[in-house]
Amino acid sequence: MKALIQSGRPALGCSLMFPSPQLVEMLGHAGFDWVLLDCEHGSLSSADVEVMAMAADAVGITAIARPRSNSAADIQSVLDRGVAGVQIPHIDTAEDAVRAVAAVKFGPGAGRGLAAGTRPDRWGLGAKMPDFVDQANARSLICVQLESETAIRNARAIVAVPGIDVFFIGPSDLSQSMGYPGNPKAPPVAAAIEQTLAVIREAGQAPGMPATAETLAEVLAGGCRYVYTHLPRLIGAGAGAFLGGRAKG
């Protein structure tokens, strides 16, 4: 997935907020590149994340987890379940971003603890520990969420932090932060989003945003390479198409 994003092509995913490895399998067979396992707003436990990450591996898509918070403990919890990366919420400053990177990567002074026998380490039955550390640091994807007025003001400093793969704009929380809850199309919010997308692109970094079928073309035109939709949106669109046929029958 990191290679796909770095190539300039968009990686399209879907967010799941409740436990279901079967749905992860379906998303893989449907052609999605990745799945977001949402622990911040969803009901997923650590055990659920682990089983759903296994399903993603089995079907050949990338599992990214959104931890419950941006704390190092919550980030490590999902990484130890074997996801390929994290989408870290509420990164407001460059210092927040630096701490997020340290929580994901192993190394001196890092915030991530190194334990043998976890799933990413193939339960201690895979590569030697130093090799595992090198592979994990190279492969783990870090996405940070900019979703407040403070983050928008600090965008240039945040995108300058090394080690981050994707800078994601969260339109819902941003709209709330700016006084237009649930209305990212409000002119001040839309302007802030466009401004921040430009900052990310100018820095040569990969932007990310959520999308629906109706907004996907617009989001991709903004240069976003890390894009996901929500499962209820997919179900709603499919249900609307199916139930709409009743009137024609």
Give residue limits of the domains in the chain: 2-233
User: Which entry of 29, 41, 90, 230 is annotated as an active-site residue?
Assistant: 41
Average pLDDT rounded to a whole number, residues 52-60: 98
pTM of the model: 0.94
Per-residue model confidence (pLDDT) at position 126? 81
**Three-state SS across 53-120?**
HHHHHHHCCEEEEECCCCCHHHHHHHHCCCCCEEEECCCCCHHHHHHHHHHHCCCCCCCCCCCCCCCC
Give per-residue pLDDT as tens, 169-215: 999 999 999 999 999 999 999 999 999 999 999 999 999 999 999 99
118 DSSP β-pair partners: none
The mean per-residue pLDDT over the stretch 26-32 comes to 98
CA–CA distance, 137 with 134 (Å, rounded to integer): 5
CATH number corresponding to 2-233: 3.20.20.60
User: Which of 33-42, 129-138, 200-209 has the lowest average pLDDT?
Assistant: 129-138
Supply the pLDDT for residue 249. 65
41 is catalytic: yes
* Residue 9, CA distances (Å) to 4, 44, 126, 221 in order: 6, 30, 32, 12
Task: Look at the block and give the residue holding tokens 């890092």.
Answer: 110
Task: Report pLDDT digits (tens) over 92-121.
Answer: 999 999 999 999 999 886 678 888 889 999
Tokens standing for residue 248? 């024609």
Q: In sequence order, which residues have a C-beta less than 8 Å from that of residue 25 and are 6 or more positions away?
A: 55, 58, 59
For the chain, the straight-line distance linking the first and the last C-alpha, in angstroms and rounded, comes to 43
Can you give the pLDDT at residue 81? 96
